[in-house]
Amino acid sequence: MTPEESLSQQDLARLLQRTSRTFALAIPLLEEPLATQVGIAYLLFRIADELEDAPRWRRDLRARALASFVQWLDAPRADGAAAWTQLVEEAPPTDDAGCLELLARADDVLEAARALPAPIASTIVAHTKRTALGMAEFVARQDEHGGLVLADVDDLRRYAYVVAGIVGELLTDLFVLSHDGVASARAALEADAAAFGEGLQLVNILKDAPSDAREGRSYLPRSVSRQAVVDLARTDLARARVYVRTLADAGASPGAVHFCDLPVRLAEATLDRLEQGAAKLGREEVMAIFTEVMSSEKP
């Protein structure tokens, strides 16, 4: 079976568009087969994220779903639905229609992942398991309503690593498997891969802090100043730029370089806005950055 037999390119594009703004814009920049590989990987990670967030579920349901999700990754359902998919059918975890569609197509997404070449499939599944297991650690610390308070900078960085740093490591593995030149730069890329993901996540945390607070979540530790988190994000984004340059210098495809450069530039612009006390980037500003990335010869 090929990935297209379980999840068509149209299905993949639709699910990306319905569940992500930035990734739906960035993934098409990749050449095939990386675009399909990264798209499928993103959807699996997004399923885990939906089970962790699950605004309509209690903490115990989130924990049960994530534990079942990890088992499902190892052994897709053969005799009836997996426990977590049954929970979703009985009590939808969210009101978001796009996310519910993704959860309903989860078996197809996993089949598409398993239809990829064996090294790619095993890499995607292994990293998805790592993030789901890490998410489960934080779900165990939530209150009954999903509230979570991070204690200090180390706690914040552990959370950012679980939900985004691992993504940087996954992307590195996929890039290495796709290009011999990139494989020769593996050590240099691995040095900055987690910081690449962490920086993007810290900007999201800073941007979403007001709405998170209304829902009982505090990803900005009370013992740490907001400016300290901004400074950490700036440091991480500087390392993310090094990551992108390393990728380019190793001879990675233009699509792979643009794919990584775009979210870094969007994060930098968003952080600038936040420090000015302004609103989030508008569509026109996002498209202007997109055009700049696509027209630049070097990151």
Nearest to 50 by CA among 119, 139, 183, 111: 139
pLDDT, tens digit, 9 for 90 and up, residues 101-155: 999 999 999 999 999 999 999 999 999 999 999 999 999 999 877 788 899 999 9
Look up residue 138 and give its two tokens.
């934080």
pLDDT, tens digit, 9 for 90 and up, residues 160-208: 999 999 999 999 999 999 998 899 999 999 999 999 999 999 999 999 9
pLDDT, tens digit, 9 for 90 and up, residues 240-256: 999 999 999 999 999 99
- pTM for this prediction: 0.93
Q: Domains in the chain, please, with CATH?
A: 1-146 (1.10.600.10), 147-299 (1.10.600.10)
CA distance 185 to 195: 17
Q: How far does Cα 38 stand from its chain's mean position? A: 10
CA distance 150 to 133: 18
Q: Please state the rounded mean pLDDT for residues 26-40.
A: 95
Angle between helix 106-114 and helix 34-53 axes, rounded to 10 deg: 140
